[in-house]
Amino acid sequence: MRGIEGKYTLILQVVVIVILVIHGGVSEGSELVYNYYETTCPFVEDIVRNEMMNIFVADATAPAAFLRLLFHDCQVQACDASILLASRDSEIHASRNLGIRKLEAINQIKSRLEATCPGQVSCADIIALAAKNSVALSGGPFFRIPLGRKDSNSSSSIQADAHLPSTSITVDQLLSIFAAKGMNIEETVAILGAHTLGAAHCVNVVDRLYKPKPTDHMDLQLQIAIRAACPNTVSVTNTTLIPNDVTPTIFDTAYYLGVLTGRGLFSIDSSISTDPRTVVIASQFAVDRNYFFRTFSSAFIKLSSANVLTGNMGQVRKQCNRVN
């Protein structure tokens, strides 16, 4: 009898483990899924979208801020909301996170979700959803993203400065960075199209004027405009902003049109317009909006899903600026 009981106990344990794996109880191997909040917070996307619409009405530049917030979060560790943690040495204090905005808006959305679905929706997923909606609200593509990211327990300004790419990286470095996220060359050129939204601080562009590279391609009128806005080699203040393209609040192909005519703000913008591997793709995006939108959507999903924390590897913070 004991042998039979032992056998049934073993079978029962196996069944329990299988059920836990399927439903996320043993979740170190969990993956992101599109219906992650189907039972725990079914209206999460509607709530985030409505909050984003209210924010967008009050501030037309907000979508660019949310998109940049996502990219800077995802480049350090992964898309894990580590950029939101508040401490003396956290990521937000890194020099390359200069000008990061809308952290308080993420906290606002989090509070709204906590009131409806307490303890369910991670701050990392909120950042990803806010950025996705920012693209659509600005005239860009609408697409779905898988969910289930967990929040990290740590944040480091040193790590941020080490991993956030500079605006003067080479095309080789650019391709390597995004290949590590599972992106091909077309998706890498497409993700740069996020520069179609927003503006740049002087500190990120003055080197192109005062320490130019022989291969740098910059339109004369753009040079004059940057010199007027940023007259010093070392910016005294970082409040001056230069629009990334002629339609900085609209998600469109104007970025690529500007890049191809020497009006890209950053060194990497100039580089992709001359490198034979990328210029053909940039030229196609410039004239084919659907192709750009389709490729950008794929790139966004890969970037926001790469190496994320899932299951028991992280937590769902109650407040986005501190660990539980």
Q: Which residues are catalytic?
A: 72
E strands, 102-207, are: 199-201
Neighbours of 49 (CB within 10 A): 16
For residue 134, the one-letter residue type is S
Q: What single string gives the DSSP state of each residue in 271-312?
A: HHTT-HHHHHHHHHHHH-HHHHHHHHHHHHHHHHHTT---GG
Two tokens, residue 261: 């005519």
How deeply is 299 buried, as exposed, middle or buried, from its count of CB atoms within 10 A (0-12, 13-18, 19+)? buried
Query: How many angstroms separate the CA atoms of 138 and 134, rounded?
Result: 6
How deeply is 223 buried, as exposed, middle or buried, from its count of CB atoms within 10 A (0-12, 13-18, 19+)? middle
Return the CA Rg of the chain.
22
Cα-Cα-Cα-Cα dihedral sign, residues 93, 96, 99, 100: negative
Q: Is the CB of residue 150 less than 8 Å from the CB of residue 309?
A: yes
> Taking each helix axis from N to C terminus, what angle separates 44-58 and 123-137, rounded to the nearest 10 degrees?
60
Q: Is the CB of residue 299 less than 8 Å from the CB of residue 174?
A: no
Q: Is the CB of residue 128 less than 8 Å from the CB of residue 149?
A: yes
Q: In whole angstroms, how far apart are CA 66 and each of 110, 127, 231, 277, 286?
A: 14, 7, 29, 30, 24
Neighbours of 212 (CB within 10 A): 13
How many residues would you count in the chain? 324
